[in-house]
Amino acid sequence: MTSQPHTSELNVGAPDSVDRRPLIAHVIYRLAVGGLENGLVNLINRTPQYRHAIVCMTDYTDFSRRIEHDAVSLHALHKREGHDLAVYWRLWRLLRALRPDILHTRNMSALEAQLPGWLAGVRGRMHGEHGRDVHDLDGSNRRYQRLRRLLRPLVQRYIPLSQDLERYLLERIDVPADKIAQIYNGVDTERFYPAAARESLPWNGVTSDSVVFGTVGRMQAVKDQMTLVRAFIETSRCAPELRPRLRLVMIGDGPLRAEAEALLEAESARDLAWVPGERDDVPDLMRGMDVFVLPSKAEGISNTILEAMACGLPVVATRVGGNAELVEEGVTGYLVEAEQVSAMKEAMLRYAQDESLRREHGQAARSRVERQFSMSAMVNQYVQVYEDVLAENCTDKRALVEHQEKLQDESPLPRAGEGGTKGRVRE
C-alpha cells in the first residue's frame, strides 16, 4: 500500500479569500531543531509577501511551532531509509496539487526533488547549499559531484551560504557564475543580544567566578563534540589552578551525547559539565556562557556561531567551511584545525586565563554581526532572488504586476526592532 503525504496548515487565512501571493515550496529533509531549519523559519516569518509550503522528505516535529505566518502548509512524505523511489512519485503528485511558483530545495538530501519539480511543471526552481554532510566533508565525493552535475540544468538559481560553497559550485560542479547568488545567514539580534553580566544557567554547577565554555548543536559525528570534551579535559589538566572554575555546557541531543557523558565520567569531570539535551531557551543559555566553541568537522555558515557572536561571546571554531568567513582570527575569536585537541585546548586556555581578552573579543563579535550579518540583509537578498526568478518564469503577467505593486506599497521588511540596536545591552 502506497503511503500518502501528511499535510497540515498553519495560520491559514480566510478560506473564502483568493490569495494571489506567489507560492514558494521549500523542500528539506526534515523540519526539526537545526541551523538550516532555523534559517528557513526565520526567512518564512519575515516574508509575508509570499505563501509558503514546507515539504519534508521524511517528517516534521513541533519545531514547526516557531512558524509565525498567515499562510504556511506543512507536508511530510515519510521517505523510508535507503532508496525509496516511491517518495518521488508522492512528491510529484503533491507539487502538481500545490502548483507552486518556485521550488526551493536545500542541501544534497533534497536536491533530487528538482526532477519531480520539473516534471510537475514548476517553472521557477532554486537550490540552496547550506553545508556538507559527514560523507563529503571536503566536497571531494565524486558521486555527489556527478549527481549535482546531472541535475544542474534543472536549477535556475543556486544559493550557497558561504564563499567556500560558492567556489565548490563554480569549480567542481561548473555552475555558471550568473546562476549563483551567495547569501550569508542572518541572525536575529533582538533574540540574541549580550547580557550586561553573565546570566544564570538552570544548573547549580556554576558560580560567580566560573569560566563557562559552551556549544550548541546536534550531537552527531560531523559536529564532533568529542573533540571539545577532550580539549576541555586537557585544559583542566594543564591548568590545575583553574580546574575548580572551569565549566562545560553542551546543548543538543544525538548519538554522541551518551559517549560524551561517559568520557566526562571516566575522566572525573562529570561534575564540571552540563549536558541537558535539546533546549528551547538557547538565547538565554548563550548569555550564561563566557566562550562559545564549535568543534565541527564540516560547516556551511554556522547559525550558532552567528548567534553566539550576537550574544557578545568570543568564539573558538574549527577552520572548516565558512567558519573563517565569520570568525576574525585574533579579533572575535580563534580558528583551529578540525579534530586537533591540542590546538583547541590552547585557544580555550587563552580565554580561561584572560577575562579582558574574552570581553574584548566578545564586543568585537557583536559589532561584526551588526555590521555584516543582519537578518534584514539576508531577507532582502532572498527576496531579490525570488523576485528575479518569478519575473523570469511568470506566465500571468497581470498577477506579477499586481504582486510587484503590492510589494512596493507595503515594503515588507523584517520585523520591527531590527534597526537601531547597535551596541545595545539589555539588563
pLDDT tens by residue, 273-293: 999 999 989 999 999 999 999
According to the model, what pLDDT value does residue 12 have? 40
According to the model, what pLDDT value does residue 408 have? 64
Which of 381, 231, 249 is closest to 318 using CA atoms? 231
Tens digit of each residue's pLDDT (9 = 90 or more) over 112-159: 999 999 999 999 999 999 988 778 888 899 999 999 999 999 999 999
pLDDT for residue 79 is more than 50: yes
According to the model, what pLDDT value does residue 233 have? 98
Q: What is the mean pLDDT of residues 78-85?
A: 90
How many other C-beta atoms can be found within 10 angstroms of the C-beta atom of residue 412? 14
Grouping H, G, I as helix, E, B as strand and the rest as coil, residue 299 is coil
According to the model, what pLDDT value does residue 404 have? 62
CATH of segment(s) 6-186+374-410: 3.40.50.2000
Listed in order, strand segments (DSSP E) in 273-405 are 273-277, 291-294, 315-318, 333-336
Grouping H, G, I as helix, E, B as strand and the rest as coil, residue 417 is coil
Given the DSSP bridges, would you call strands 102-106 and 23-28 parallel, antiparallel or unpaired? parallel
Q: What is the mean pLDDT of residues 339-362?
A: 98
According to the model, what pLDDT value does residue 426 have? 33
Tens digit of each residue's pLDDT (9 = 90 or more) over 364-422: 999 999 999 999 999 999 999 999 999 999 766 556 566 666 666 655 444 433 433 33
For residue 337, give the C-alpha cell. Answer: 584545525
Greater confidence, 165 or 427? 165
Q: What percent of the chain has pLDDT over 70?
A: 88
Amino acid at 134: V
In whole angstroms, give the CA distance from residue 191 to residue 11: 23
Q: Give every CB contact of residue 257 below 8 A, 6+ residues apart in sequence.
A: 219, 250, 275, 277
According to the model, what pLDDT value does residue 34 have? 84
Q: For the domain 211-372, what is the CATH superfamily, name and number? A: Glycogen Phosphorylase B; (3.40.50.2000)
| Pairs from 137-143 (Cβ < 8 Å, separation ≥ 24) | 137/222, 137/297, 137/298, 137/320, 138/298, 139/168, 139/172
Q: What is the mean pLDDT of residues 27-48?
A: 93
What residues does each domain of the chain span? 6-186+374-410, 211-372
According to the model, what pLDDT value does residue 13 have? 41
Edge-first strand listing for the sheet containing 315-318: 273-277, 246-251, 211-216, 291-294, 315-318, 333-336
List the single range of 38-42, 170-174, 362-366 with lowest mean pLDDT.
38-42
| 11 contacts 72 by C-beta, under 8 angstroms | yes
Tens digit of each residue's pLDDT (9 = 90 or more) over 238-262: 999 999 999 999 999 999 999 999 9
Beta bridge partners of 160: 129
| CA dist 67 → 46, 64, 221, 344, 397 (Å) | 10, 6, 29, 37, 30
Q: Give every CB contact of residue 148 below 8 A, 6+ residues apart in sequence.
A: 108, 111, 172, 173
In whole angstroms, give the CA distance from residue 126 to residue 122: 11
pLDDT for residue 38 is more than 70: yes
Phi, psi for residue 12 in degrees, rounded to 5: -75, 140
According to the model, what pLDDT value does residue 427 have? 32
Grouping H, G, I as helix, E, B as strand and the rest as coil, residue 16 is coil
The answer to whether the 6-186+374-410 and 211-372 domains have the same CATH topology is: yes
According to the model, what pLDDT value does residue 406 have? 65
Tens digit of each residue's pLDDT (9 = 90 or more) over 186-209: 999 999 999 999 999 999 999 999
Greater confidence, 78 or 412? 78
Chain centroid to CA 93: how far?
A: 29
